[in-house]
């Protein structure tokens, strides 16, 4: 009897063990399916024109990616942007990024006057605490901050006074470079201050350059404001372009001037040539080949443009007298004889900074309107040019 009871007990226990094993296996499979979460979703916010940067959003953070901060750059730079709350709960590998930045930024150093307008358009210019070459700044708003000693002078861009900069301890330095070999920026980065390269100047169209306001927008956690400002600039630009598209007469245009017997002017693929095209003028080198600037002899330029209706941007010359003193050859052009030369060099700030070099990248709509006003005077009748003025 006891033997029979023992056998029955073993059979029951064996069945129970099998059921427990099967249950555990099922739980393990279910547990595995629950633990294997989908990978973190990433969304790249598409730019309309700019190619040099991307903003990548995830559930927990934002990544600012810089693709081409200078011509032929091979490295892509990535910066992890975290709010204070995100920084408290986020885990990340510091080595995966070129910088970790807490947003919104409260203090910043920028290194080009082209960066100043973005700060002002986003209404964060008071976060600027240092700049190399403050005399080049034209804006009245930022000049007031400089005069009030709220923005420190940092020397020259190619040799920033790192001692002063490190004393300021900005949260971020926005730099630019032509080849990535900047020992000053390396020193700043080693001190723990992130350096972000801004490549707005590398972009190939006027609106692409202007879209870099979104780069600053994400740093200051002002994406909506940056989007709104840029949308207004695009709308203004396209309205002006459409207005010029209906003109009947397209004046012929000469650009640039000589430097050491070589005449430099915009190639057909340059942003400057794009502006002239959108102003609906006959730029005489609109079909040229090559990127950036064309380097031509005086003879070739004279033969093609001696009868040009208008001459724009004659280098740094500010008057007919200075042009003639530089070379009597200039006096042979019809545009010189007819006093039809226009330059942005005479439009400066209180300390001599050329406004075009500061505001032009951010506001291509104003440049386009200037060109339309000059080349098609019957249009934009109540508009006064912002940058270009008749040569003195």
pLDDT tens for 369-380 read 999 999 999 999
Helix (H, G, I), strand (E, B) or coil at 108: strand
Most confidently predicted of 41-45, 90-94, 285-289, 385-389: 385-389
Q: What percent of the chain has pLDDT over 70?
A: 89
DSSP per residue over 43-106, as a string?
EEE--SS--SEEEEE-SS-EEEEES-SSTT--PPEEEEEE-HHHHHH----GGGSSEEEESS-S
User: What's residue 87's pLDDT?
Assistant: 79
User: What's residue 40's pLDDT?
Assistant: 54
Domains of the chain with bracketed CATH: 43-233 (3.40.50.1980), 245-390 (3.40.50.1980)
User: What's residue 13's pLDDT?
Assistant: 52
State the pLDDT confidence band at 44, using cuts at 50, 70 and 90. Answer: confident
Residues 195-207, buried b or exposed e (16+ Cβ, 10 A)?
A: bbbbbbbbbbbbb
Contact between 344 and 388 (Cβ < 8 Å): yes
| CA dihedral sign of residues 260, 266, 270, 275 | positive
d(CA 306, CA 316): 20
User: What's residue 85's pLDDT?
Assistant: 85
For residue 142 the two structure tokens come to 């930022």
- Strands of the chain (E only): list them: 43-45, 53-57, 62-66, 77-82, 99-102, 108-110, 128-131, 152-153, 155-156, 159-160, 172-175, 195-197, 252-255, 257-259, 262-266, 282-283, 293-296, 310-312, 341-343, 389-390
Inform me whether the pLDDT recorded for 154 exceeds 80.
yes
Inform me whether the pLDDT recorded for 18 exceeds 70.
no
**Mean pLDDT of the 87-104 span:** 86
Contact between 331 and 300 (Cβ < 8 Å): no
User: What's residue 181's pLDDT?
Assistant: 79
User: What's residue 3's pLDDT?
Assistant: 40
d(CA 108, CA 154): 13
Of 17-26, 142-151, 274-283, 327-336, the range with the lowest mean pLDDT is 17-26
User: What's residue 59's pLDDT?
Assistant: 79
Most confidently predicted of 125-129, 154-158, 200-204: 125-129
Mean pLDDT, the chain, as a whole number?
Answer: 89
Helix (H, G, I), strand (E, B) or coil at 278: helix
Which residues contact residue 186 at a Cβ distance below 8 angstroms, ignoring those fewer than 6 apart? none
Inform me whether the pLDDT recorded for 114 exceeds 80.
yes
User: What's residue 92's pLDDT?
Assistant: 80
Phi/psi of residue 29, each to 5°? -65, -45
**Mean pLDDT of the 85-91 span:** 79
d(CA 213, CA 362): 7
User: What's residue 356's pLDDT?
Assistant: 97
pLDDT 10s digits, 306-346: 999 999 999 999 999 999 999 999 999 999 999 999 999 99
3-state helix, strand, coil in the chain (%, to 5): 45, 20, 40
State the pLDDT confidence band at 110, using cuts at 50, 70 and 90. Answer: very high
State the pLDDT confidence band at 292, using cuts at 50, 70 and 90. Answer: confident
User: What's residue 38's pLDDT?
Assistant: 39
d(CA 276, CA 266): 10
User: What's residue 321's pLDDT?
Assistant: 96
d(CA 166, CA 31): 52
State the pLDDT confidence band at 220, using cuts at 50, 70 and 90. Answer: very high
């Amino acid at each position: 009897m006891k033997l029979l009871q023992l056998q029955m007990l073993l059979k029951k226990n064996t069945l129970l063990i099998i059921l427990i094993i099967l249950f555990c296996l099922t739980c393990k499979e279910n547990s595995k399916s629950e633990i294997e979460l989908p990978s973190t979703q990433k969304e790249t916010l598409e730019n309309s024109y700019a190619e040099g940067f991307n903003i990548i959003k995830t559930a927990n953070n934002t990544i600012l990616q810089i693709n081409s901060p200078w011509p032929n750059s091979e490295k892509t730079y990535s910066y992890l942007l975290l709010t204070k709350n995100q920084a408290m709960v986020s885990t990340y590998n510091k080595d995966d990024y070129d910088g970790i930045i807490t947003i919104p930024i409260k203090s910043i150093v920028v290194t080009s006057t082209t960066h100043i307008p973005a700060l002002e358009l986003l209404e964060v210019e008071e976060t600027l605490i240092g700049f190399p070459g403050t005399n080049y700044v034209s804006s009245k708003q930022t000049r007031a901050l400089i005069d009030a000693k709220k923005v420190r002078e940092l020397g020259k861009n190619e040799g920033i006074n790192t001692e002063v900069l490190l004393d300021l301890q900005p949260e971020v330095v926005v730099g630019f470079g032509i080849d990535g070999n900047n020992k000053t920026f390396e020193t700043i980065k080693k001190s723990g201050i992130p350096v972000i390269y801004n490549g707005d100047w590398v972009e190939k169209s006027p609106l692409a350059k202007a879209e870099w306001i979104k780069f600053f927008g994400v740093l200051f956690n002002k994406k909506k404001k940056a989007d709104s400002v840029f949308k207004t600039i695009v709308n203004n630009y396209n309205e002006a372009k459409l207005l010029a598209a209906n003109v009947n007469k397209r004046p012929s245009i000469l650009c640039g001037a000589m430097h050491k017997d070589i005449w430099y002017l915009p190639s057909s693929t340059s942003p400057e040539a794009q502006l002239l095209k959108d102003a609906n003028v006959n730029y005489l080198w609109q079909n040229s080949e090559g990127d950036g600037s064309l380097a031509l002899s005086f003879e070739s330029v004279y033969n093609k443009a001696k009868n040009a209706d208008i001459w724009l941007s004659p280098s740094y010359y500010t008057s007919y007298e200075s042009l003639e003193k530089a070379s009597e050859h200039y006096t042979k052009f019809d545009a010189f004889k007819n006093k039809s030369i226009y330059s942005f060099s005479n439009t400066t700030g209180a300390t001599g900074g050329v406004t075009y070099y500061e505001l032009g990248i951010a506001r291509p709509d104003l440049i386009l309107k200037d060109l339309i006003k000059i080349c098609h005077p019957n249009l934009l009748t109540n508009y006064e040019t912002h940058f270009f003025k008749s040569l003195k």
